[in-house]
Amino acid sequence: MINVLVTGSNGQLASCIKDIENQYSGLNFIYTDYLDLDICDLDQVSSFFKSNLEFHYCINCAAYTAVDKAEKEIQQAYSINAIGAKNLAKLCSENNTTLIHISTDFVFDGKSLLPYTEKDLETPLSVYGKSKLKGEEEIISTFNNYFILRTAWLYSEHGNNFMKTMLRLAETRNEISVVSDQIGTPTYAKDLAEVILKIIDSNNQNYGLFHYSNEGVASWFDFAKTIFQIFKIEIKTHAIKTSEYPTPAIRPAYSVLNKDKIKTTLKMETYNWQESLKKCMFNYKNLVK
């Protein structure tokens, strides 16, 4: 039996892992949230590894993701996203545990005209992006047995995300304005969860940094319109510029990720974002029945 530690168990990605874990009978999952395991506390992480089963893998879903709040809560963002990642990498290295760490498209500044590859220079614009990049660097400098998966625009039937925000707003509004000049790829968290578990189940040892998102290109406006169309919600949707909706954190204007490396090196499939949104809609409707 392969023992898999999952941090951040209450988040949407860990929740998606829980949804599909029964498809992987050879894996034994141990889920923790910050009350069980504070990854920012090295002594606590060390004690947790010593007092539990031998962990073959650690999936780090724990993260500070409040992008705008991070501009003021700098220490907290770095504590979870950088120090937490460093602590896990240290204990994974000492215990021969493979670390699978989730990172973000926000490590880029969005000035590219082409999808970002793993070799492109990271120039994050926000505290959130900088703290996530620091976490990547801490892992890479600690040991070699890691998979860092950068993803983008995650949503699912679980947790807080753009899809669920749009559905909630549509319950009380007849029209809504959404930014149309930020371009990326909506990514169904369950698709990412499947990639992670396939890496483990296949005993893949092609360690390194990889990009993973769904396929296609969209603006937040496109994403919102498609959500309303798929859910058959009638609401007027207006396209606005980022300058009309200022936020404390600067977002990259373009953050499409190139997935060639994960498709060729790890042999992972990628799916069109609209088709994955339809899958999520089906699962969401079943969840809220």
How far apart CA 39 and CA 62 sit, in angstroms, is 8
Classify residue 198: in a domain, yes or no: yes
Classify residue 38: in a domain, yes or no: yes
Classify residue 57: in a domain, yes or no: yes
Q: Where are the alpha helices (DSSP H) in the chain?
A: 12-20, 42-51, 74-78, 84-94, 127-142, 162-170, 189-201, 220-230, 260-265, 273-287
Mean pLDDT of 203-225: 96
* pLDDT higher than threshold 70 for residue 289: no
Query: Tell me, what CATH number does 53's domain have?
Result: 3.40.50.720
Query: What's the pLDDT tens digit per position in 93-130?
Result: 999 999 999 999 999 999 998 999 999 999 999 999 99
Looking at the 3D structure of the chain, how many domains does it have? 1
Query: What global pTM score does this model have?
Result: 0.94
Q: What is the sign, positive or negative, of the torsion defined by CA atoms of 184, 59, 65, 283?
A: positive
To the query of whether residue 128 is one of the catalytic residues in this protein, the response is yes
Classify residue 123: in a domain, yes or no: yes
Classify residue 117: in a domain, yes or no: yes
Classify residue 51: in a domain, yes or no: yes
- Its domain, for residue 57, covers 2-161+186-215+255-273
* pLDDT higher than threshold 70 for residue 131: yes
- Of 31, 128, 146, 212, the active-site residue reads 128
Classify residue 239: in a domain, yes or no: no
Query: What's the pLDDT tens digit per position in 222-274?
Result: 999 999 999 999 999 999 999 988 899 999 999 999 999 999 999 999 999 99
Classify residue 206: in a domain, yes or no: yes
Instruction: Locate 126 and state its tokens.
Output: 């926000």
How far apart CA 84 and CA 270 sit, in angstroms, is 29
Query: What's the pLDDT tens digit per position in 19-66?
Result: 999 999 999 999 999 899 999 999 999 999 998 879 999 999 999 999
Q: What SS3 state is found at 267?
A: coil
CA 160 to chain centre: 12
Query: What's the pLDDT tens digit per position in 136-166?
Result: 999 999 999 999 999 999 999 998 899 999 9
